[in-house]
Amino acid sequence: MKKNGFMIKAALGMALTAGLMLYCGTRTASAAPTAPAGGSAGGTPQGGGRVESTPEKGSGRAESTPEKGSGKAEATPEKSNGGPFDAKEAAASTPEKSSGSSFGAKETAAPTPTKAPSQAQKKVVILATGGTIAGVGEQGKTTGYRPGTLSADDLIAAVPELKDVAYIEALQICNVNSDDITDKIWLEIASKINELAEDPTVTGFVITHGTDTLEETAYFLNLTVKTDKPVVLTGSMRPSSSISADGPMNLYEAAATAASEEARGQGVLVVFSDRIYSARSVIKTNTYHTAAIGAGETGALGMVRDGKVYLYETSAKRHTKDTIFDVSGIKELPRVPILYFSVDADPDLLSYAGESAEGIVIAGAGAGEFSETWKKEIEKLSIPVVISSRTGDGIILPDNLLCENTIAADNLSPQKAAILLRLSLACRVDTGRLQEIFSEY
């Protein structure tokens, strides 16, 4: 009996011990593992997402916080520590959602200045009009994008180095492809610059613009703004979403030029791909190249390197404060079409244009030449006819003219000749003075 009782007690003891071990094992398995100091926690959380390590205080590692319901941990960058994140001046917060753009790669809020500019700090006003510089498309591609997508604030936020140049203010004039720029937009820009130029705290102006008609807007402003403060246009050949977009550097260099004393009194300028051009001579010369903006025979006035302006030339033609063109009360400009001469070009185009236009510009062959049939039609016209060249460079003098009732465009391109003629007509310049005007401007 004693033997049997001992055996029963032993069996009960073993069963109790096994139960306790099972119970403790279950509690241990269900507990979350504890990461060693400076190490990472193992295991897979519920939902299948990864759990990143939580750094020790002062360890210098980025913490990670899983998105709600995402199952993924999203890294939160720490405060600037001299790494690549520094260039974007990001605060220690969750990154913004990417929009696929390298210029405005992130959905950015309007910049909020931390303090008002000091009296000694320069102030540059950026007037944005759209164009490729504000374009977004398929990531990495240079074609098929939509121009005029990013706002002025997006452009500024993408170039934090602008704060080292000047205190920046932004105005969104429009947000369009530059082929949709109109005379009303020109007049609005000129009016706004003339108004803001009266503010003694404003140092200069930058206008972001599509490259297709950038040269035209630049020349119009060169004739109509009434300030010697720097007015600088820039743009880009690649959209913000392309690989190695050229917009940010062009914007930075344009702002540096607008903030410089060297650019004061130089007329309206264009800054593009490290070079500085006069508004009168600048022209787009290529459909895709990042150095597509040039100035033909006259060349660049100077260059920008690391934010410093180097000017070597100046424009000899009248501009800005020294022009006779006051557009303050003008709502629209007269119609002046450009007719392009080529072999077998229809002379009826001339009579058709003459019925509705107030002047005509002809893009002639060579030194402004055209056929005998065109000559006969031109001689019948009673409106001003300016002769330019389709060649893209060179000069046309009064001695080159085939018709007595025409005006030589000097070395102005057809599109710029049209601007000067439109302004002359709008400001009621006597037609007998037009040849003199084209020589002076």
Catalytic residues, by residue number, are 132
Q: What is the DSSP-derived secondary structure letter of residue 53?
A: P
Looking up tokens 């004693």 gives 2
Would you state the structure tokens that stand for residue 175, as one six-digit string? Answer: 């947000």
Strand partners, 37: none
Are residues 361 and 336 in contact, defined by beta-carbon separation less than 8 angstroms?
A: yes
Q: Which of 219, 168, 149 is nearest to 189 (CA)?
A: 219
Spatial neighbors of 288 by CB under 8 A, at least 6 apart, are: 142, 237
Residue 14 is inside which H or E element, if any?
helix 2-30
Would you state the structure tokens that stand for residue 388, as one six-digit string? Answer: 């330019």
Q: How far is residue 2 from each of residues 6, 12, 183, measured CA to CA in Å?
A: 6, 15, 116
Identity of the amino acid at 110 = A
Would you state the structure tokens that stand for residue 277, as one six-digit string? Answer: 């051009």
CA-CA distance, 238 to 385, in Å (whole number)? 37
Strand partners, 98: 106
Q: Give one DSSP letter per residue of 245-313, joined into a string.
A: -SHHHHHHHHHHHHT-STTTTS-SEEEETTEEEETTT-EE--SS-TT-EE-TTT--SEEEETTEEEE--
CA-CA distance, 392 to 408, in Å (whole number)? 15
The torsion angles phi and psi of 162, rounded to 5 degrees, stand at: -60, -30
Are residues 117 and 217 in contact, defined by beta-carbon separation less than 8 angstroms?
A: no
Beta-sheet pairing, 275-278 with 73-76: unpaired
R_g (Cα) of the chain, nearest Å:
34
Looking up tokens 């009064």 gives 398
Are residues 170 and 192 in contact, defined by beta-carbon separation less than 8 angstroms?
A: no
